[in-house]
């Protein structure tokens, strides 16, 4: 066993070393490419839209502009204070939007810090701050970021900051249908009971760069007639995704996402008691809704919840971004997540090539497969804007790092609803450990790991069985 195990361990170590070296080279090139694309898009935006496009490459300014918008940062948590004559709004944003060090600077900084800590004889030097940290009062440092201030100029004045759609966004009827409606609400697909006399409803919340079709094309056709007669089923396209509004002046914060769900589903349909089924990023919104409506939530079903406990002393937002986007070329899903999270202009280029031309990709998919597979996953993946994906990723996935622990503690201590967690064993984006981390905070939660399933196939491909499981969860929640 030892003889056989040794070559295997050598291969594993060799593979890791190759991945590390290759990743360093690739992301070094991407750092340079993103820098170049920053100026390319500035010029393109100026000539096509007659204005400069603010981006998060801009350095923070030390003065408050006349717009009345202030970005304050303290220990990794940032908020925007939006002032107007009638309203003061505090927006939670993630510092990962404007603090994303290049790979070279990050490696250099960690190397210098390590050298400073070590004497020539190898002993560790204790910094003066460490010696005196108990007696020193650390003052809060506030900074002002010019990019977010510029983005909110139009919003405070009640105007759109940029054309709808932007030149790099798709202008098809599906993606711009919301612009023809006077009422700005989410796209909601409802099924099941046709009246509001039922005691319970079900709210389905999709994950990142997805849409309501993730549920309506898989689960909805497989629910039993009895379930559809007992519950009203609501599947939404989140703000910025699918057929929902994609405002160019939105920062896609947690507050904005929750308010749109309330305005589009809970309030108009007079939802009083409901179950939540959420996938990936949607789990964060589902937990936030459960905390806001503790007396209304009957059950929580979370699929691949992205919960990474933040170690003591770590900055939550930055730690979470590195866990979700580790800047590695393998596995490929981690490579894609890294480009989406670390590079504002490269990710905009990807959206331009894929999302703006999604009709072409859907046509090619049907042509290659001879129309033998449905393209709802492709549609869900492509129907969003870069502005929506970029801000949602940072402000929801990364920006809520400091809130998730509070949400989970609240669910454990203040809610009596059933909590069920599903996770695919082969999920390479959100590891299975995340579900067990949730269980460590909510001991009564039931974790079910599904073998040979990943981040998508946890639902797609087993929709019939999962529909039965959900019906059982809703049924037993009333016992």
Catalytic residue ranges: 206, 280, 427, 455
Side by side, which strands form the sheet with 69-74? Answer: 69-74, 77-83, 88-94
The H-assigned helical ranges of 50-134 are 103-117, 128-132
- Rounded to whole angstroms, the Cα distance separating 70 from 83 reads 8
- Tokens 């590390």 identify what position? 20
The candidate with the shortest Cα–Cα distance to 250, out of 89, 52, 68, 45, is: 89
- Rounded to whole angstroms, the Cα distance separating 182 from 440 reads 46
- Rounded to whole angstroms, the Cα distance separating 439 from 452 reads 21
Q: Please, are residues 381 and 210 in contact by the beta-carbon 8 Å criterion?
A: yes
The candidate with the shortest Cα–Cα distance to 470, out of 459, 479, 457, 454, is: 459
Strand ranges (DSSP E) for 256-346?
A: 274-279, 297-303
Q: Are strands 274-279 and 297-303 parallel, antiparallel or unpaired?
A: parallel
Q: Please, are residues 57 and 344 in contact by the beta-carbon 8 Å criterion?
A: yes
Q: Are strands 188-192 and 231-236 parallel, antiparallel or unpaired?
A: antiparallel
- Rounded to whole angstroms, the Cα distance separating 435 from 448 reads 9
Q: Are strands 200-205 and 274-279 parallel, antiparallel or unpaired?
A: parallel
- Residue 13, token pair as written in the block: 């170590």
The candidate with the shortest Cα–Cα distance to 93, out of 159, 162, 169, 149, is: 149
The candidate with the shortest Cα–Cα distance to 281, out of 374, 377, 391, 188, is: 391
């Amino acid at each position: 066993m030892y003889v056989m195990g040794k070559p295997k361990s050598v291969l594993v170590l060799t593979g890791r070393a190759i991945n590390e070296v290759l990743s360093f080279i690739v992301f070094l090139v991407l750092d340079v490419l993103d820098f170049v694309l920053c100026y390319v898009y500035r010029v393109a935006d100026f000539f096509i839209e007659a204005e400069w496009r603010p981006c998060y490459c801009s350095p923070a300014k030390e003065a408050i502009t006349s717009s009345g918008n202030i970005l304050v940062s303290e220990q990794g948590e940032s908020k925007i204070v939006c002032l107007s004559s009638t309203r003061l709004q505090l927006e939670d944003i993630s510092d990962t939007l404007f603090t994303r060090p290049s790979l070279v600077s990050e490696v250099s900084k960690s190397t210098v810090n390590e050298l400073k800590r070590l004497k020539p004889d190898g002993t560790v030097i204790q910094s003066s701050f460490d010696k005196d940290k108990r007696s020193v009062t650390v003052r809060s440092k506030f900074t002002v970021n010019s990019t977010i201030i510029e983005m909110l100029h139009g919003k405070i004045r009640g105007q759109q900051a940029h054309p709808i759609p932007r030149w790099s966004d798709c202008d098809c009827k599906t993606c711009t249908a919301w612009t023809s409606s006077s009422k700005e609400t989410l796209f909601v697909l409802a099924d099941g009971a046709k009246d509001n006399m039922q005691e319970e409803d079900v709210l389905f919340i999709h994950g990142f760069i997805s849409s309501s079709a993730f549920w309506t094309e898989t689960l909805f056709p497989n629910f039993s007639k009895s379930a559809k007669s007992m519950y009203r089923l609501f599947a939404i396209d989140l703000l910025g995704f699918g057929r929902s509004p994609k405002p160019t002046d939105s920062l896609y914060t947690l507050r904005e996402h929750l308010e749109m769900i309330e305005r589009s589903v809970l309030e108009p349909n007079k939802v009083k008691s409901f179950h939540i089924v959420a996938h990936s990023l949607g789990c964060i919104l589902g937990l936030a809704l459960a905390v806001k409506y503790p007396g209304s939530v009957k059950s929580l079903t979370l699929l691949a919840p992205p919960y990474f406990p933040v170690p003591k002393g770590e900055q939550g937002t930055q730690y979470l971004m590195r866990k979700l986007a580790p800047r590695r070329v393998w596995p490929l899903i981690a490579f894609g997540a890294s480009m989406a999270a670390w590079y504002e202009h490269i990710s905009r280029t990807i959206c331009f090539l894929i999302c703006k031309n999604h009709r072409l990709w859907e046509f090619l998919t049907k042509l290659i497969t001879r129309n033998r597979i449905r393209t709802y996953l492709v549609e869900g993946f492509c129907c969003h804007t870069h502005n929506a994906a970029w801000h949602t990723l940072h402000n929801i996935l990364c920006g809520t790092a400091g809130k998730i622990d509070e949400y989970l503690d609240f669910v454990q201590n203040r809610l009596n609803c059933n909590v069920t967690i599903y996770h695919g064993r082969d999920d390479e984006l959100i590891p299975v450990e995340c579900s067990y981390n949730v269980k460590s905070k909510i001991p009564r939660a039931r974790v079910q790991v599904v073998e040979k399933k990943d981040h998508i196939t946890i639902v797609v491909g087993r929709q019939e069985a999962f529909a039965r499981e959900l019906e059982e969860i809703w049924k037993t929640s009333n016992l």
